Homo-oligomer: A and B are copies of this chain.
């Protein structure tokens, strides 16, 4: 039997869903849960709880289990320097770590990945070990977007391509080829909540269902790390913002808790579309 794939687990259900998908494909997962981020449910699988920065402890556990492949899944609150320096494993690498604090989340994750690669691990992405979590192409939840919605999707895709070099959250809400909101450090759910508030407060005067949430990974992003994700909470937020639907980049966006996500979109009357179709 092959060695387990280790998954460093941030918040949400995706790490556990990936572990289940691995098991269905005949492999085992070893879940490294980040205290304060990962869900308790990881304990249903072989696991280890660590704090951010306990690099020495992680390395020892992975070597003891002959792990060769390492993945990162789920969201982690951006750490501050004191979180990253609790043990000697990190302290000896502090020079490298200090460099991470300029630039966006991408730079931070890439450097953490490089640190583990330097120790001989191969970093794997969801496309390799859990492809069933990714958005497919075309109509995911009906209806198929109409001409206006497709124009908004194309506009959003161009906008996200333009902001991509700046390492900001790759999401936007577009209505009638106008960007209503652009996502940065606040994250998708808060951006969608903002659209709901702007509509309720009268600053955005739109009639009925209007606007598409467009989401993609950053161009040139390391697709093994930190792919964007949507889930049932995204549907709830899009419904409150009275959007028409969600357009997510096929093969680039993870869908968490898919059966619940799909049912929620259908019940809310929101289309979900994997672009380009």
A185 touches B180 (CB 8 A): yes
Given contacts A101-B176, A178-B103, contact A185 B166 (CB under 8 A): no
Q: Is the CB of B168 within 8 A of A179?
A: yes
Bound CA span A229–B190, Å: 26
Residues B103 and A177 in contact, CB atoms below 8 Å apart: yes
Question: Chain A 162-186, CB within 8 Å of chain B: the 1/0 string?
Answer: 1101111000100011111111111
A residues 170-211 in Cβ contact with B at 8 Å: 172, 176-187, 190, 194, 198, 202-205, 207
Asked if A119 CB lies within 8 Å of chain B CBs, one says: no
Q: Which of A36-84 contact B (CB under 8 A)?
A: 77-80
Quick check: B176 and A185 within 8 Å, CB to CB? Answer: no
Check A186 against B179 for contact (C-beta < 8 Å). no
CA distance A181 to B191 in the complex (A): 10
What is the CB-to-nearest-CB distance from A204 to chain B, in angstroms, rounded to a whole number?
A: 6
Given the interface pairs A203-B77, A204-B78, the reply to whether A178 lies near B182 with Cβ below 8 Å is no
In the assembled complex, the Cα of A172 lies from the Cα of B169 at a distance in Å of 13
> When the two chains form their complex, are residues B78 and A179 in contact, meaning their CB atoms are under 8 A apart?
no
Question: Which residues on B sit within 8 Å (CB–CB) of A159?
Answer: 163, 166, 168
Question: Residues on A close to B: CB < 8 A?
Answer: 77-80, 101-105, 151, 155, 158-159, 162-163, 165-168, 172, 176-187, 190, 194, 198, 202-205, 207
Instruction: List 16 additional A-B contacts (Cβ < 8 Å) besides A104-B179, A168-B182.
Output: A77-B203, A78-B204, A78-B205, A79-B205, A102-B151, A102-B178, A103-B178, A162-B162, A162-B165, A163-B163, A166-B179, A168-B179, A178-B185, A182-B182, A182-B184, A185-B203
